[in-house]
Amino acid sequence: MKLKDFVAEYEAFCPKELALEGDPVGLQVGSPEMEIKKVLVTLDIREQVVEEAIRLGVDLILAKHPLIFSPLKNLTSLEPQEKLVLDLASHHIAVYTSHSNIDVVKGGLNDYFAEMLGMTDLEVLDDAESLGRVGNIEPTSLADFSEKVKKALGQERLRLISYDQELKQEIRRIAVCGGSGAKLWPIAKAKGADLYITADVYYHVGHDMLSGGLLGIDPGHYMEQYFIPLVARKLESFDSDVEVIQSQANTNPFYDI
């Protein structure tokens, strides 16, 4: 199957036009005319993912986080990020990225999070950019809901934003935004959320949230690893003979002990 035909089918589900302004989505390495037989789905493209792709003999990597986010000044093996691009190109492995558009699209990553967390009566969190989701849950304590989040997101630990360490607060309505969505907390509060789940919350933002009456859970940016099974299942539903492989490489740069 030609790469351009495979991409066209993916973009019928998740159009590039949904991406936030300036977000580098789409084909970043490779020729639209190349034939592909194997695609590797991953969250990030790091050294271990490139090694995995070469070892598996894939023709295409479909990643959430862009391989090339800022313009490259050179293309040599002297700088790590440039070497990733060079290694992929030299092995004829194409790269396609689906970043903020998979967050925004209906049936995308934020809807997937909402489904995993049992949210109902969903609405978009940020109407301006269509990011995040807000919805209701069965009333529960913060302690019990935190355990549900751990199980849903496959986490052993979570960073909670709460002054009350007994975690007895009742939770009825939550907001969720994959990735770094801390700036949207005032909208979550305005839409009635008791709790906001997003990653990369700064210390002082945590203070601001609590002063504003909003609790929080920060599962870490690696919460977006669920891009892999979500997109892999979508690709497997296409009418093609392309083999879809879910990356097994761990690209989480943080490790809790």
Domain range summary for the chain, segments of one domain joined by + = 3-101, 106-222
Pick the CATH number of 3-101 from 3.10.20.30, 3.40.1390.30, 3.40.50.720, 3.30.70.1150: 3.40.1390.30
Please check if 99 is assigned to a binding site: no
Q: Give domain 106-222's CATH superfamily.
A: NIF3 (NGG1p interacting factor 3)-like (3.40.1390.30)
Would you say 115 is a known binding-site residue? no
**CA–CA separation, 249 and 49 (whole Å):** 6
Closest CA to 110 of 200, 32, 16, 227: 227
Each residue's pLDDT expressed in tens, for the chain with a length of 257 residues: 999 999 999 999 999 999 999 999 999 999 999 999 999 999 999 999 999 999 999 999 999 999 998 888 888 888 999 999 999 999 999 999 999 999 999 999 999 999 999 999 999 999 999 999 999 999 999 999 999 999 999 888 899 999 998 999 999 999 999 999 999 999 999 999 999 999 999 999 999 999 999 999 999 999 999 999 999 999 999 988 999 999 999 999 998 87
